[in-house]
Every structure is written in structure tokens, then in C-alpha cells.
Amino acid sequence: MTFCGISLVVILPCISACDQRRESERQASALLEAQAAQLAAEQRRREAEEAAARERARIDALVRRFSYNAGAQIMNKIGGGQDLIVRFDEWQFDAESRRIAIPMSVSFNGAIVRANNYRVSGVLTVGDDGSAPQFAREDANENYRSVESMMEFAAVGVVLLEGMERNRQP
């Protein structure tokens, strides 16, 4: 059987080879698109991780500043002191309310009698802008509790602190 002088026996293998080449090109194109999508997703994941790391570092710097400032304010509220030590562990940040909760401990020696040691621990909550800081006391040594009972700065174990947006870094 001939078609315009060309044998169908010759045309059919050519059509089959063209179809295979088109299929190979389509598969290669699909593979390239899948790889590009995978690379884009990986890039977005890396960017999200980097943004989260920057946010953690920003909050961590705020936690250091706010906890030190709160410790200094607590020390000053009972008449001052010296040798201030502020420690904090894990903190929690609520992105919705923009508030940070910082479990911390504060210790210092007396302003006049250095042998008087004061220790208090609790949770500092403060806005990430330094607003509305409060220290909820959980535990304190006898020296701190005796001074606290005579002062009016702590109502039911909560110390209201001055806004920290104006305070300097340690």
C-alpha cells in the first residue's frame, strides 16, 4: 500500500518515533516543572525558618533587657541594693496578644548591709513593646517577704512595674 508514493510501512515507524519524542519531551518538561516547584517550596521554607529565627533573636534580646530592667525595678522598690543577679529560663511569646511571659529569679544584696540577701522568683509578663509589665511573685526568701509585707508595691504577690519602653539596656 502506498500513499502518494510513500509506503505506509515507512511512515508508521516515523510517526511512532515522533510520538515517543514528544512524550519524552513532555515528561522532561513535567520533571523540570516539578523540580522548579520543589526548589521554590524549599526556598519558601528556608525564608520562613530565617524569619522565625530573626523573630526568636529579637524576642530573646527583649527578654534579656526586660528581665534585667524588672530585676532592677524590684530591687529599687524595696529600697535599693547591690550585686543584682537576674536569671531567666525559657520564655513564651503570645503572638496574638504580643505579650511575653518570662519565668525569672532575682537576687541581690542589701544597699547598706551587704549580708542581707534578697531572693525572689516569679513570672514577668510584659508587652513586646515594654508596656504593662507585671511581676507575679511565686517564691521569695524570708528577707524579701519581710520587706514586701511592709511595702505597698506588691498587692497579692504582683509587683506592678514601670513601662520598660523607656528603660535602657543593661
Confidence of residue 168 (pLDDT cuts 50, 70, 90): very low
pLDDT in tens, 105-121: 999 998 887 788 999 99
51-72 mean pLDDT = 93
Is the overall model pTM greater than 0.75, yes or no? no
By CB atoms closer than 10 A (0-12, 13-18, 19+), residue 86 is buried
